[in-house]
Amino acid sequence: MKEKVVLAYSGGLDTTAIIPWLKENFDYEVICCCVDCGQGEELDGLEERALASGASKLYIEDITDDFCDNYIVPCVKAGAIYENKYLLGTSMARPGIAKALVKVAKLEGATAICHGATGKGNDQIRFELGIKALAPEIKIIAPWRMTDVWTMESRQDEIDYVHAHGIDLPFDASHSYSRDRNLWHISHEGLELEDPTVEPNYDDLLVLSVSPQKAPDKATEVTMTFEAGVPKSVNGVEMKVSNIIRTLNKLGGENGIGIVDIVENRVVGMKSRGVYETPGGTILMEAIAQLEELVLDRDIYAAKKDLGNKLAQVVYEGKWFTPLTDSIIAFVNEADKYVTGEVKFKLYKGNIIKAGTTSPYSLYSEDLASFTTGELYDHHDAEGFINLFGLSLKVRALKMQEIEKNK
């Protein structure tokens, strides 16, 4: 009986070419597994394509709600944003995909898992760290790093290889962006984006959104509610998180929200340039931040900001299944226990404009914040506070004066 390998299958040219390559070079039985994270119509026709390419079976594992509830929500609550711009759309999905691949591999009794990530990117790290954490006994095959066996160097090489194996599939060598899509975002790399001096061709590039210049001249009003940091409703309609993201994607996309052009630092050390569309995610991040600034005290707010940055780095590097990630999420869940309330804002030409925030746990006190004197604050108390708060400054200044005088 042949050994089985589970291939992380997207239906694109790379993973289609890998199917006959695995059979030819390793004599594996190839089990394809496509993990659905909400990428929509990209799943159409996958089974026929996989079987036509030589796979014995295709699994389509729908993890969309798991992705939203157990990966996106913790990152949203933490405010995890990589290098101040990237909302981790690809990074958050990879551990869930790795988990699904391991599940199928164990179900099929497979000895290996194969992925089509390149040797230059982040995804090879994310997939493999996830697999190692969940199933260290399973072998990992990464064709693009096996240059002694994987001899294809271009898209045309892959097309020629597929055709030589009698596989007639709708691929050509025409140029296109390299994209990754799920419910949270879509990323774009390649073509003019490889030159950071060149402006993106947004008219050709954008999929989920319009550019801010082409957005309506009228603002869109949105109201959201949260309970303990978890989004619960949009415009008065309660929904599960995945449907909230779908709704916000539509509203945000129509108003040019969440388009980011970034040169980021990859884990392997190089810089890469990409454009991310995250319309719903950008709104969700801004909405919870609007509520948190009303509810969280100063120390928790500061600590949470630091840990959010740390979580962004950890997730970006593929270290989801680690004690550190679990610990940060536990802290964030405790910190956001009272992040409950209603957030109103307007979407207008790429901007998210506050329109009012309310919470039963608000720490904002009009009596304290007002310029009028209230019962809770005595202006005279500030003098003693400043004297103590600035004592070290004053002592140092006096010492420096003494040293200067004695020169």
23-71 residue pLDDT tens: 999 999 999 999 999 987 778 889 999 999 999 999 999 999 999 999 9
The answer as to whether 330 is a domain residue is no
Segment among 57-71, 142-156, 344-358 with least mean pLDDT: 142-156
pLDDT band at 176 (very low <50, low <70, confident <90, very high): confident
Which of 119, 142, 174 is the endpoint of a domain? 174
Residues 224 and 280 in one domain: yes
CB 186 within 8 A of CB 207: yes
Question: Is the residue at 72 inside a domain?
Answer: yes
Q: Which of the four pLDDT bands, split at 50, 70 and 90, describes residue 308?
A: very high
- Letter for the amino acid at 152? M
pLDDT of residue 374: 59
- Between CA 143 and CA 359 the distance in angstroms is 53
Residue bearing tokens 């999905």: 93
Provide the residue range defining the domain that includes 169.
4-174
Q: Could you give the residue numbers annotated as active site?
A: 14, 94, 123, 178
* Whether pLDDT at 173 is above 60: no
The answer to whether residues 102 and 203 belong to one domain is: no
Which region, left, alpha or beta, applies to residue 27 given φ > 0 means left and ψ of -120 to 50 means alpha?
left
The pLDDT, as a whole number, for residue 377 is 75
If you average pLDDT over residues 82-99, what whole number do you get? Answer: 98
Q: Nearest CA to 93 among 253, 257, 281, 247?
A: 281
pLDDT digits (tens, 9 = 90+) for 217-256: 999 999 999 999 999 999 999 999 999 999 999 999 999 9
Based on the fold, state whether residues 196 and 281 are members of the same structural domain.
yes
Q: Mean pLDDT, to the nearest integer, of 296-318?
A: 98
Q: Considering the domain boundaries, does residue 323 fall inside one?
A: no
Give the Cα separation of 2 and 151 in Å (integer).
Answer: 24
Single out the residue of 197, 12, 180 nearest to residue 189, CA to CA: 180
pLDDT on residue 370: 62
Tokens 């746990």 locate to 361
Residue 103 lies in a domain: yes
CATH at 223: 3.90.1260.10
Q: Which two tokens stand for residue 357?
A: 């925030």
> Could you tell me which residues come within 8 angstroms of residue 295 by beta carbon, excluding any fewer than 6 positions away?
338, 339, 340, 341, 359, 361, 362, 363
Residue 159 covered by a domain? yes
Alpha carbon separation from 312 to 77, 225, 258, 283, 390 (Å, rounded) = 12, 25, 18, 18, 35
User: 206 and 155 in one domain?
Assistant: no
Residues 106 and 194 in one domain: no
pLDDT value, residue 124: 97
Q: Are residues 26 and 166 in the same domain?
A: yes
First to last CA, the chain: 90
> Same structural domain for residues 354 and 373?
no
Cα dihedral sign for 229, 235, 237, 243?
A: negative
Instruction: Please tell me the predicted confidence (pLDDT) of residue 107.
Output: 98
Q: Are residues 65 and 124 in the same domain?
A: yes
| Token pair recorded at residue 390 | 């600035």
Q: How many domains does the chain have?
A: 3
Asked whether residue 130 is assigned to any structural domain, the reply reads yes
Q: So what's the pLDDT on residue 380?
A: 84
Write the CATH number for 143: 3.40.50.620
Q: What is the mean pLDDT of residues 266-293?
A: 97
Which residue is listed with tokens 């699994």?
59
Percentage, residues of the chain above pLDDT 90? 87
User: Torsions phi, psi of 179, nearest 5?
Assistant: -125, 150
Residues 61, 35: contact at Cβ < 8 Å?
yes
Helix (H) or strand (E) holding 337: none
Helices then strands, counting H and E runs in the chain, come out as 15, 14
Query: Is 146 in the same domain as 227?
Result: no
Rounded to the nearest integer, the mean pLDDT of the chain is: 94
Q: Do residues 169 and 32 both lie within one domain?
A: yes
Which range, of 73-82, 155-164, 338-347, averages the lowest pLDDT?
Answer: 155-164
Co-location of 191 and 215 in the same domain: yes
